[in-house]
């Protein structure tokens, strides 16, 4: 039997687009001689649909799309993910499910049993876990169909008390198929490969796995669909961050024409780069936007965001606004102009000095002669926020936020100033990774000016200001932040690593004290195992770890 895997980019709630794309790929797979074509988890409605699932009309549209897809399955079968109703009164109203369609008929429905409810996942909010499992028989082949997490309960510390494959294997299937919506992080592809290989080995069956690709707001899906033999050897791996369709021939329990291959190792920073470019691109395309604006300071963070935006949207669709203050250095302005020239994007130079002076004059009476401090620095940052938002309102640009993860973590930013924006491009990228990203972007030629990379980072909101005046050096800061945020280490654990106690406690206090700021910032493109946003939910007024 010939089985095609369709690794596609869906759009949450865009039934017309998703349905057309699925039908188009049914036709392409049929033309390629496939007997069966397999699409991703919740492909019909897009993943994650979140509270759209609570609308009756949304579920009806899913059902109608499923029927339309079925009408095109003539001479070819398909497996496609969508939510289906729970006919039992007890339990949640829906299942996360997949149709098996053949001869224009919905022949069977597989339901997901293991519903992730951690990090960015919230499936038990909407879905009832399956309790019954049946293999699918088609053209002399028995298929054990599972949905994403159903294969992830295989490690030494199982999260769930049961395993769907333990039930399906009793029916003596010939092959496993798993459909997924598995989000990207720069560590997750390695974990995914190990889990899938372990399943193939444990159940002694070949495994075909299809993942979706593309970004849904902050969540990025990298594709990387895979095929394994029954010994757990990887036979094929589809490209990452691209739509793809490929057909495989299954003979008994063997994939014909393929022998074991090694995974091609891609550096984390290259994966992060590609993920961020896709994240920007899909945020704009799926939201109906085309043009971006950002503040370009001459510093490395805004330079990285400008570079990524130019690659995602085309330089002709990127407006970089240089907003020098009375404290801005000449070299910062020149560095920004050099970057603009290198990428060919649009730019404007709009000084905020006059606006800041006007605010100083306006507030002088209320401030009663108190000395210059953080207040006046924030007024400058907020003046810049007003400028870029004015450009957004006047010309229809969408504002890109340029705060990095180190700054977001410790609250080193100004609410309604440099923390404003529609999407946080690098808010899940530590400052030390930002430098790696700059070198990666410059790997073929100098695009980000060398001076931007080597000069000490500064907000330039007071004379001679440097980030190091307020923060530890970034190598130390980022190491401590990673231990605390990604690895959830305690202060005692981190101190035991050799870091000074006062420094560790100060950093952790800064992280927890900045929660109210992060709560008001834009969604952040997720590239790490633990990003700020839906995957890290902390109370704002909590005392623990304060």
Alpha helices, DSSP H, located in 344-473: 353-367, 374-395, 405-410, 431-441, 450-454
Mean pLDDT of 300-328: 96
Mean pLDDT in residue range 488-513: 95
pLDDT score of 476 more than 60: yes
* The pair of three-digit structure tokens given for residue 423, joined into one six-digit string: 């999407």
Going edge to edge, which strands form the sheet with 423-424? 346-349, 318-322, 292-295, 398-401, 423-424
Q: Is the pLDDT of residue 39 over 90?
A: yes
446 annotated to a ligand binding site: no
Task: Provide mean pLDDT across the span 526-539.
Answer: 95
pLDDT band for position 469 (cuts 50, 70, 90)? confident
User: Is 252 known to sit in a ligand binding site?
Assistant: no
Q: Which band of pLDDT confidence, cut at 50, 70 and 90, is reported for residue 457? A: confident
Q: Are 305 and 522 in contact (CB under 8 A)?
A: no
* Mean pLDDT for the chain overall: 95
| Domain residue extents for the chain | 2-266, 270-467
Question: Is 426:405 a contact under the CB 8 Å cutoff?
Answer: yes
**Nearest 10 degrees: CA dihedral of 50, 51, 54, 59?**
-50
At 421, is the pLDDT very low, low, confident or very high (cuts 50, 70, 90)?
A: very high
Please answer whether residues 328 and 462 qualify as being in contact, where contact means their C-beta atoms are separated by less than 8 angstroms.
Answer: no
Whole-number pLDDT of residue 479: 97
Q: 377-390: per-residue pLDDT in tens? A: 999 999 999 999 99
pLDDT of residue 158: 85
d(CA 105, CA 244): 26
Q: Is the pLDDT of residue 86 over 80?
A: yes
416 is in an annotated binding site: no
Q: What b/e string do you get for 240-259 counting C-beta neighbours within 10 Å, with b at 16 or more?
A: bbebbbbbbebeeeebeebe
* Residues 120-170: tens digit of each pLDDT: 999 999 999 999 999 999 999 999 999 999 999 997 778 998 899 999 999
Partners of residue 106 on adjacent β-strands: 101
Q: Are 511 and 410 in contact (CB under 8 A)?
A: yes
The reply to whether 296 sits in an annotated binding site is: yes
Residues designated catalytic? 41, 112, 148
Q: Tell whether 301 is in a known binding site.
A: yes
Q: Which residues pair with 347 in a beta bridge?
A: 320
- The pLDDT of residue 464 is above 80: no
pLDDT > 90? residue 330: no
- Tell me what pLDDT residue 135 has: 98
Q: What is the pLDDT of residue 188?
A: 92
pLDDT band at residue 449 using 50, 70 and 90 as cut-offs: very high
The domain 2-266 having CATH identifier 3.40.640.10: the answer here is no
370 annotated to bind ligand: no
Q: How confident is the model at residue 327 (pLDDT cuts 50, 70, 90)?
A: confident
Looking at domain 270-467, its CATH architecture is: 3-Layer(aba) Sandwich (3.40)
Q: pLDDT digits over 51-77, tens only?
A: 999 999 999 999 999 999 999 999 999
Rounded to two decimals, what is the model's pTM? 0.95
């Amino acid at each position: 039997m010939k089985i095609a895997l369709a690794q596609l980019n869906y759009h949450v709630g865009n039934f017309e687009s998703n349905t057309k794309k699925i039908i188009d790929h049914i036709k392409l797979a049929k033309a390629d001689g496939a007997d069966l074509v397999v699409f991703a988890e919740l492909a019909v409605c897009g993943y994650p649909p979140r509270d759209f699932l609570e609308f009756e009309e949304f579920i009806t549209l899913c059902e109608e799309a499923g029927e339309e897809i079925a009408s095109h399955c003539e001479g070819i079968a398909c497996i496609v993910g969508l939510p289906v109703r729970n006919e039992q009164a007890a339990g949640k109203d829906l299942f996360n499910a997949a149709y098996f369609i053949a001869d224009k008929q919905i022949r069977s429905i597989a339901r997901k049993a293991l519903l992730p409810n951690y990090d960015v996942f919230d499936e038990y909010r909407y879905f009832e876990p399956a309790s019954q499992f049946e293999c699918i028989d088609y053209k002399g082949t028995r298929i054990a169909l599972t949905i994403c997490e159903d294969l992830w309960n295989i490690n030494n510390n199982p999260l769930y008390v049961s395993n769907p494959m333990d039930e399906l294997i009793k029916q003596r299937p010939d092959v496993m198929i798993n459909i997924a919506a598995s989000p990207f992080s720069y560590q997750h592809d390695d974990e995914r490969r190990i889990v899938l290989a372990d399943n193939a080995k444990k159940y002694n069956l070949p495994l075909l796995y299809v993942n979706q690709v593309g970004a849904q707001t902050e969540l990025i899906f990298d594709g990387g669909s895979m095929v394994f033999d029954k010994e757990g050897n990887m036979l094929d791996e589809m490209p990452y961050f691209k739509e793809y369709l490929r057909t495989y021939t299954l003979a008994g329990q063997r994939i014909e024409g393929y022998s074991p291959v090694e995974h091609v190792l891609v550096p984390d920073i290259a994966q992060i780069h590609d993920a961020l470019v896709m994240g920007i691109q899909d945020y704009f395309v799926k939201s109906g936007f085309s043009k971006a604006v950002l503040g370009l300071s001459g510093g490395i963070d805004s330079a990285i965001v400008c570079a990524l935006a130019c690659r995602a949207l085309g330089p002709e669709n990127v407006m970089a606004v240089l907003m020098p203050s009375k404290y801005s250095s000449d070299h910062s302005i020149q560095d920004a102009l050099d970057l603009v020239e290198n990428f060919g994007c649009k730019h404007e130079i709009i000084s905020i000095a006059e606006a800041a002076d006007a605010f100083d004059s306006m507030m002088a009476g209320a401030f009663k002669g108190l000395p210059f401090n953080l207040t006046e620095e924030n007024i400058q940052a907020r003046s810049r926020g007003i400028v870029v938002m004015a450009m957004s309102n006047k010309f229809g640009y969408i504002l890109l936020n340029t705060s990095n993860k180190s700054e977001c973590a410790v609250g080193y930013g100004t609410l309604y100033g440099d923390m404003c924006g529609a999407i946080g491009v690098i808010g899940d990228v530590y400052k030390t990774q930002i430098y790696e990203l700059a070198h990666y972007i410059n790997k073929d030629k100098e695009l980000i000016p060398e001076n931007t990379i080597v000069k000490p980072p500064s907000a330039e909101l007071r004379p001679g200001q440097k980030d190091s005046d307020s923060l530890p050096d970034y190598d130390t800061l980022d190491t401590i932040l990673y231990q605390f945020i990604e690895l959830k280490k305690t202060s005692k654990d981190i101190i035991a690593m050799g870091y000074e106690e006062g420094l560790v406690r100060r950093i952790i206090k800064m992280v927890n004290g900045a929660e109210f700021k992060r709560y008001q910032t834009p969604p952040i493109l997720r590239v790490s195992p633990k990003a700020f946003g839906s995957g890290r939910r902390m109370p704002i007024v909590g005392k623990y770890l304060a």
